[in-house]
Amino acid sequence: MIARISEIFESIQGEGILVGTLQLFIRFCGCNLNCNYCDTPKESDFCKDHVSGKVLKNPVESEYIQRLIDSSKTHSVSFTGGEPMLHADFIKSLKKSKPFYLETNMTLPESAKKLRFVDFVAGDLKVREAGIERYEEVLERTFRCFRILRNTKKRLTFCKIVLPSKFNEDEVYNSAIQIRNYVKCFVLQPVFGSDTENIFKLQRRMIEFSDTRVIPQVHKYLGVR
């Protein structure tokens, strides 16, 4: 099995409820969305393996990734992107020698069905202000993904909502209500450098029906990858 991967590295998790946890990151190429705040390159002809100091030509074989997973002394493996659910079959082919952490935009329900075995799901709820085309359709697919990868005794699922300074508070609130029973908690993540006044207002509303936390991108403040 092969996949296009942009980089591999070890660092702390800088977002969500596992912030500060040491992880092995596998960053896939490619994404089915085009969010206007995205800061991640979507394609690369080469994979930079910062763990071994190698530069590999894409695509990368699953056996190579498996060896890195097995030898890593980190808490867990984070599959990120891009959009890792585009590579669901590749992830499914890997042996889970340590916990698997999936960072996903939650818009590919058929792929989500293949990844029920993961231990952690950091699932996005996109806001209209992200500039996504056919937003209502994307939102419906997101609801379906959260139902498929819901929080269970064996899988910790939380919802991350990336928020700019200005957004439709009522729309975000109503969307969050639709998935409140499928997640452990909500994380409101400010777009790096944006104003947080409206985010704190939203938190006060959402906390009435679910644990809701405001957590920035900690790795950017620390200056690490």
- Domain annotation covers residue 54: yes
- Domain annotation covers residue 166: yes
- Domain annotation covers residue 222: no
In the numeric block, which tokens belong to residue 169? 């508070």
pLDDT confidence of residue 225: 78
Answer for the pair 56, 47: CB distance below 8 angstroms, yes or no.
Answer: yes
User: What is the Cα–Cα distance from 185 to 160, expressed in whole angstroms?
Assistant: 9
- Domain annotation covers residue 198: yes
User: What is the Cα–Cα distance from 201 to 182, expressed in whole angstroms?
Assistant: 23
pLDDT confidence of residue 61: 99
- The domain total for the chain is 1
User: What is the Cα–Cα distance from 136 to 132, expressed in whole angstroms?
Assistant: 10
pLDDT confidence of residue 130: 93
pLDDT confidence of residue 220: 87
- Give φ, ψ of 79 to 5 degrees: -95, 115
| CATH number of residue 90's parent domain | 3.20.20.70
Backbone angle region of 193, left / alpha / beta, with phi > 0 → left and psi within -120 to 50 → alpha: left
Query: What 3-state DSSP class applies to 213?
Result: strand
User: Residues of the chain whose pLDDT is less than 70?
Assistant: 39, 41-42
Q: Which domain holds residue 92?
A: 2-217
Candidates 111, 110, 137, 143; CA nearest to 124 is 143
- Domain annotation covers residue 6: yes
- Domain annotation covers residue 223: no
Answer for the pair 64, 40: CB distance below 8 angstroms, yes or no.
Answer: no
pLDDT tens digits, 93-106: 999 999 999 999 99
